[in-house]
Amino acid sequence: MKLTILGCYAATPRTITNPTSQVLEIKNRLFLIDCGEGTQVQLRKNKIKFSKINHIFISHLHGDHFFGLIGTISTFALLGRTADLHIYGPKGVKEIITLQLRLSNSWTTYDLFFHELESDKSEVIFEDNRVIVKTIPLKHRVYTNGFLFQEKPAERKLNVDAVQQYGIHTAYYQKIKNGGNVTLDDGTVIENEKLSFDPIAPMSYAFCSDTVYNEAVIPIIENVDVLYHESTFLESEAPLALKTLHSTAKEAATIALKANAKQLILGHYSTRYDGIERFKEEAETIFPNVLLGDDGRSFEF
């Protein structure tokens, strides 16, 4: 997996910071997560090909998470895109986009599919042969979801020495890769574990923004490899975080710890602070593996 942060600052775009948007690459698929104003320019700056984006996930309808969506959709059309584009987001996103396309008399050159979300329970919203995406219901001032991206388990790896030693025909190889046992001509059953190795463990990534501290997400994201969790404020502004339904760096780290995440990435920083190093310091008092998200920063895992 490769995560590229296009923007991870709260509220208003500025000359040096961008509102929320990120690109997650899994097994050669690109998922765009949130789309604040200026996302299409951030995609260009980070040399991410528009044509590789087929799925856009919108967490909630606050401007710093979706005001760049209409521009992105329009630019794809101006560039003559033909491939389908799927938008996953709160109910209302379809009306916002289609109203603007209608009034500008500028329909897309490609088919646009809206998957509007209303449930307050985690649900599977995308699945193909490599990846599954589930919602993570969050608590914020409007209806909000995070998103959990899970790789599907890869095939088991053939133990070439073992299958040759048992004289197993190549016709059985796919069955072995799928985890099956093999029965030899003499009736002996060879357990799969003797014929194959464990595949590389599938990775998972959870995006949680925007939300107040909310332990209800823990069972959904338990054991996640990488957790991006918003930390709009430092603990010194905890009352403000509670009032605005945002989290502090310490709270983000507490969720990471309790969910047994392997890695925490912070983001969605309020622009009131000079620099973001203190977010890492505060989170590390709770949880050891903390990385700072920042515009243009990429993480591979």
Q: How far apart are CA 146 and CA 87, in angstroms?
A: 14
CB nearer a second copy, residue 106 or residue 178: 106
Tokens of 236: 């010194």
Per-residue x/- mask for a second copy, residues 98 to 117, rule CB under 8 A?
-xx--xxxx-----------
Q: Pick from 48, 70, 203, 257 the residue near a second copy by CB under 8 A.
A: 70
Which region among 66-74, 156-164, 195-203, 254-262 touches a second copy (by CB under 8 A)? 66-74
Which region among 27-35, 73-81, 112-120, 196-204 touches a second copy (by CB under 8 A)? 73-81
Indicate the residue type of 88. Y
CB nearer a second copy, residue 63 or residue 179: 63
Q: How far apart are CA 5 and CA 136, in angstroms?
A: 20
Q: Does 79 bind a second copy (CB under 8 A)?
A: yes
Q: How far apart are CA 256 and CA 157, in angstroms?
A: 32
Q: How far is the CB of 243 from a second copy (least distance, A)?
A: 15
Alpha-helix residue ranges (DSSP H) falling in 126-217: 160-165, 173-177, 192-195
Contact 33, 23 (CB under 8 A): yes
Which region among 32-40, 51-59, 158-166, 255-263 touches a second copy (by CB under 8 A)? 32-40
Instruction: Identify which of 22, 30, 45 has the alpha carbon closest to the alpha carbon of residue 83.
Output: 30
Q: How many CB atoms lie within 10 A of CB 292?
A: 20
CB nearer a second copy, residue 11 or residue 238: 11
CB nearer a second copy, residue 99 or residue 184: 99
Q: Does 44 bind a second copy (CB under 8 A)?
A: yes
Residues 123-161, buried b or exposed e (16+ Cβ, 10 A)?
eebbeeeebbbbbbbbebeebbbbbbbbbeeeebebbee
Q: How far is the CB of 242 from a second copy (least distance, A)?
A: 18
Q: How far apart are CA 164 and CA 144, in angstroms?
A: 54
The reply to whether 64 sits in an annotated binding site is: yes
Q: Does 74 bind a second copy (CB under 8 A)?
A: yes
Q: How far apart are CA 49 and CA 31, in angstroms?
A: 12
Q: How many CB atoms lie within 10 A of CB 181?
A: 14
Q: How far is the CB of 246 from a second copy (least distance, A)?
A: 14
Which region among 97-105, 218-226, 247-255, 291-299 touches a second copy (by CB under 8 A)? 97-105
Residues placed in the known binding site for Zn(2+): 60, 62, 64-65, 140, 210, 268
Residues that bind a second copy in the complex, under the rule CB under 8 A: 11-15, 37-38, 40-41, 44-45, 61-63, 67-68, 70-71, 74-75, 78-79, 90, 92, 95-96, 99-100, 103-106, 141-142
Show which residues are catalytic.
64
